[in-house]
Amino acid sequence: MLALAMRENSSQLVPINDSGRQSSKCLFGLDADALAACMVEAGEPAWRGRQLAEALYRQRIAELDAITTLPKALRQRLATEGWQVGRPAITQVFQSADGTERYLVEGQSGDGLTVETVWMPEGDDGEIGDGSDGEIPQTPDAPGPDYRSWETSEPSPTQKPAHRATICVSSQVGCAVNCDFCLTARLGLQRNLTVGEIAGQVLAVFDRHAVEVGRDRVNLVFMGMGEPFLNYDNFMGAVRLLMREVGLSPQRMTVSTSGIVPGIERFAAEPPEFRPKLAISLNAPNDAIRSQIMPINRKWPIAAVIDAVRQVKLRPRERITFEYVLLGGVTDRPKDAVEVARLISRTGLAAKVNLIAWNPGPGIEYQTPKPEAVETFRRTLTDAGIPAYVRKPRGRDIYAACGQLKRTMEG
Ligand code: SF4
């Protein structure tokens, strides 16, 4: 049974043991159509798939036996055949003095590997100026939830205040891109995350903070461990799942890439109403410096990345974000700022720049830039007509800040 769903979502189906016993298979990560196919193959009506999707993604039920909308006999049969919900779970929490929380999240494969996910109450200002704060338009013929009804309900005096937060989500265990300033790079790539493992980080954090979809204002940034565009299908599968089944707006999601040109080209071909916003991890004023700190630049230099980005059709008010990590004495000099301003102006793109003062990590020899250098850099860009914002460092004391995700992986 359930072979169809297994074929359609093969990356989702992972054994929990390698000893030849019955493999366990994860329902979490399958969309409503795949769940309906499961039910039909089980001899059940297709609408049971919708019931399952409702239970997994709206009610956020994490145990098969607790899905009481399914008959008990069906739940037992699914369990006997090796199915489980298989939602990723938080196994460790690190709390920062500034309210940021970093989590180790264990996935669906049973290999014991964890990834890191970060909750930033109030965010880190990374979304400023990218169109997130504008009215969220609804594409008339787009299926799925009506995002216009989002974030409009006033809390009653007895309700808790609405959350405003950002969740930083991982897409791979480790990373192969090998940026010189990043701790995650030191892990190398261990494996890709499945659709369920990417989306599951979000729901695990939602549960921890009792996030109410449709009321709380939570942004997702796919900027955690890994390069999302080197795990493109599972990354976009998770985005679609979070949109269609959980009810999140893609306009509150941003994906950051180090500049994987084939990935950017695929992204550009996605319908605008079904894709997150795009951020490019630029980090250097020219190819010479970028190739030193980001070896990926030797394969896809800045001009090739920009050409690919130009193919992305922007929504009204949307801007491309250029992320720029300021490395003291390396990329934070006044002449670097002038060069970045020229580079971005020449692209002609609707763009903004997020500046990130480098966060120190053990074994990495760069220097944190001086506050004056950060401010001078920002002003040089804004004087050139380029919106530029300094991202607040969040959770430095728990190694949750940009580029620091890995610390606890070392054991
Ligand atoms: S900065 Fe991002 S792309 Fe570069 S090594 Fe770290 S996780 Fe990978």
The secondary structure of 347-405 as a DSSP string is HT--EEEEEEEPPP-TT----PPPHHHHHHHHHHHHHTT--EEEPPP--GGGT-STT-T
48 pLDDT tier (thresholds 50, 70, 90): very high
Residue 106: active-site member? no
Please, what CATH class does the domain formed by 89-132+163-410 belong to?
alpha beta
Kindly give the distance from the C-alpha atom of residue 227 to the centroid of ligand 1, in angstroms, as a whole number: 6
Return the percentage of the chain with pLDDT > 90, whole number: 71
Give the binding-site residues of ligand 1, using a 6 Å CB cut-off.
175, 177-179, 182, 184-185, 225-227, 258, 403
First to last CA, the chain: 40
Out of 33-37, 187-191, 205-209, 345-349, which region has the weakest mean confidence (pLDDT)? 187-191
DSSP string of 200-269, one letter each residue: HHHHHHHHHTT--TTTSEEEEEE-SSS-GGGSHHHHHHHHHHIIIII---GGGEEEEES--HHHHHHHHT
Average pLDDT over residues 128-147: 46
- Class of the 3-84 domain? mainly alpha
Phi/psi region, residue 112 (left: phi>0; alpha: psi -120 to 50; beta: rest), is: left
Specify the ligand 1 atom closest to the Cα of 257.
3
Q: Which atom of ligand 1 is nearest to the CA of 294?
A: 4
Which pLDDT score, from 0 to 100, does residue 63 have?
96
116, 127, 273, 323: the active-site residue: 116
Rounded to the nearest integer, the mean pLDDT of the chain is 86
Cα dist from 403 to 116, 117, 345, whole Å: 12, 13, 27
CA angle 193, 50, 219 (to 5 degrees): 45
Determine the distance separating the centroid of ligand 1 and the alpha carbon of 207, expressed in angstroms: 28
Of 221-235, 284-298, 356-370, where does mean pLDDT reach its minimum?
A: 356-370
306-322 average pLDDT score? 96
pLDDT of residue 160: 65
**The pair of three-digit structure tokens given for residue 265, joined into one six-digit string:** 């080209």
Structure tokens at 143: 């299926």
Ligand 1 site-directed mutation target among 117, 225, 258, 290, most atoms within 8 Å of CB: 258
* Least confident among 265-269, 311-315, 386-390, 398-402: 398-402
Q: Which atom of ligand 1 is nearest to the CA of 225?
A: 7
pLDDT, position 163: 78
Task: Give Cβ neighbours of residue 147 (< 8 Å, ≥ 6 apart).
Answer: 136, 138, 249, 251
CA of 183 to the centre of ligand 1 (A): 8
Reading phi first (left if > 0) and then psi (alpha if -120 to 50, else beta), residue 144 is in left
pLDDT class of 24 with cuts at 50, 70, 90: low
**410 catalytic, yes or no?**
no
Q: Which of 168, 175, 182, 402 is catalytic?
A: 402
Dist CA 146 CA 124 (whole Å): 27
Query: pLDDT-based confidence at 392, cuts 50/70/90?
Result: confident
Tell me: the pLDDT tens digits for 223-249? Answer: 999 999 999 999 999 999 999 999 999
CA–centroid distance, residue 57 to ligand 1 (Å): 29
Please tell me whether residue 53 adopts helix, strand or coil conformation: helix
Whether the predicted pLDDT of 400 surpasses 90: no
Specify the pLDDT at position 80. Answer: 93
324 backbone dihedrals φ, ψ, rounded to 5°: -140, 105
Rounded CA-CA distance 281/325 in Å is 8
**Cα(35)–Cα(38) distance, rounded to whole angstroms?**
5
Distance from the CA of 366 to the center of ligand 1, in angstroms? 16
pLDDT for 65 beyond 60:
yes
Q: What pLDDT digit, counting tens, does each position of 367-382 carry? A: 999 999 999 999 999 9
Q: Is the pLDDT of residue 20 over 90?
A: no
Residue 270: helix, strand or coil by DSSP? Answer: coil
147-170 average pLDDT score: 63
Cα of 118 to ligand 1 centre, how many Å? 16
For ligand 1, pick from 118, 168, 179 the residue to mutate: most ligand atoms within 8 Å of CB.
179
β 164-168/114-121 pair status: antiparallel
Q: What tokens appear for 164 in the block?
A: 């405003």
pLDDT at 121: 92
Tell me the two tokens of residue 186.
Answer: 């030191």
Q: Is 110 exposed, middle or buried (0-12, 13-18, 19+ CB in 10 A)?
A: middle
Check whether 328 has a pLDDT greater than 90. Answer: yes
Instruction: In the chain, list all ranges with CATH 1.10.150.530.
Output: 3-84
For range 252-275, the mean pLDDT: 96
Taking the C-alpha atoms of residue 330 and residue 224, their distance in angstroms, rounded to an integer, is 24
The arithmetic mean of pLDDT across residues 309-325, rounded, is 96
Residue 21 has pLDDT above 50, yes or no: no
Q: How much is the average pLDDT of 82-108?
A: 93
Q: How far apart, in whole angstroms, are the C-alpha atoms of residue 133 and residue 252?
A: 9
Instruction: Determine which of 13-22, 46-55, 181-190 has the lowest per-residue pLDDT on average.
Output: 13-22
Res. 397: pLDDT tops 90? no
Higher-scoring residue by pLDDT: 30, 398? 30
Residue whose CB lies within 8 A of the most ligand 1 atoms, among 187, 190, 227, 364, for a mutation test: 227
CA 23 from centroid of its chain's CA atoms: 28
Q: Where in the chain is the domain with CATH 3.20.20.70?
A: 89-132+163-410
From the CA of 183, give the closest atom in ligand 1.
6
User: What are all long-range contacts of 153-162, with beta carbons under 8 Å and residues at least 24 apart?
Assistant: 153/214, 153/215, 155/215, 160/210, 162/212, 162/215, 162/216, 162/217
In this prediction, residue 409 has a pLDDT band, given cuts at 50, 70 and 90, of: very low
Least confident window among 55-69, 177-191, 362-376, 383-397: 383-397
